[in-house]
Amino acid sequence: MAAKRFAACFLRLVLISRLVAYSFSLPLNWRSLNLIKKVNRKGPYIGLITVFPPEETAFFQIGAFKPNQKHPFVDLSGRRFLVGKIHDKKVVYVRCGVGMMNAAAATQQMLDLFDILGIVHFGIAGNANNSLSIGDVTIPQQFSHTGIWDWLNPNRSLNYDEANLDFKRYNVPRGDNLLGHIGFSYEQFFSEYGKANTARPLFWANTTRQWLQVAANLKGIKLNQCLNSSVCLPQKPRLVVGLRGSTANIFVDNAAYRDFLFQTFRVSSVDMESSAVVMTSLSNGFPVIVIRGLSDLAGGQSGHNSIDTFGSLAAINACKVVVQFIKQLHLDTREPGFPRSIHP
């Protein structure tokens, strides 16, 4: 009898140990989803997305983010989503990684899994507009994805609606160029408000007008002019709202291409993520705004690129604007789980 009881207890212990081992071997996604459910009960949140470590360092250096004491973060698909508050506004923050694919993936994850009101995307960017200066912060009203090209046979004529780039125009000395020419194409934009499985062409994606109006009230914000006691910008940085920005998986440090982008599209900033964040947010019906500090001249400088010198200052200035924008943002009261959609 005792042997039977011992065998039964031993069997239960084996089963329990296997269940415990199995629970620890479950996919991270499964455990994270349970934690996300708990986090969402305290929502809704403003979604914050930046790109790479120097921008994240600046964000924490500002000191406005206060982590949630009970559920400070959720790890999912290799990214850490931080949960907390800024000026008593609940936020979820993530560093997406460089490039449009990372930006779109992180944005879609945040919108799908968390109880989000809208997206604030921020970081640094190159300056393509000679009327702006390093250290300035830009909040564009429109973004284009300027990395969608049709690379054409050199003998084919150019008749693209948006823009054409003929490489032989840039030859020194002038002459033919085997690279030929490219025509800039459109995004295929799928939307909550469109017919299912049907895309419409889109070149300019608009950020949310209501949020731009809030940002416009911050134009007098004081931004950092000096990196330290010996390294300063020649002029006080300023906040500029309502220009255009471009995005592509290209780090632009070339004067000729910089001039082409400005002259053709009238874009003032160039980066590698913003358009992806904007289009993903709009596609899902969520408000979105982009706040970028200008760290360099995208190739327009006479010497070395200034991103290594003033990148951290530009990031700090962008983060200062983000914090003040969140402070001024009026959030609609609603039941958690029902996002306030805005038509793009």
Alpha carbon distance 54, 9 (integer Å): 56
> Under CATH, to which class is 28-147+189-328 assigned?
alpha beta
Residue whose C-alpha is closest to residue 248's, from 272, 281, 229: 272
Strands 239-241 vs 89-95: parallel, antiparallel or unpaired:
unpaired
153 Cβ contact list (under 8 Å, min separation 6): 180
**Residues lower than pLDDT 50 in the chain:** 10, 13-26, 333-344
Q: Quick: pLDDT tens for 301-342.
A: 988 889 999 999 999 999 999 999 999 998 764 433 334 443
pLDDT digit string, tens, across residues 235-276 = 999 999 999 999 999 999 999 999 999 999 999 999 999 999
- CB 245 within 8 Å of CB 140: yes
CA distances from 295 to 23, 82, 126, 307, 333 (A): 47, 26, 6, 5, 37
* CA–CA gap between residue 176 and residue 167 (Å, rounded): 9
Q: Tell me the C-alpha distance between 85 and 323, whole Å.
A: 11
Q: What is the pTM of this model?
A: 0.88
Locate CATH 3.40.50.1580 in the chain.
Answer: 28-147+189-328
From CA 134, how far away is CA 156, in angstroms rounded?
40
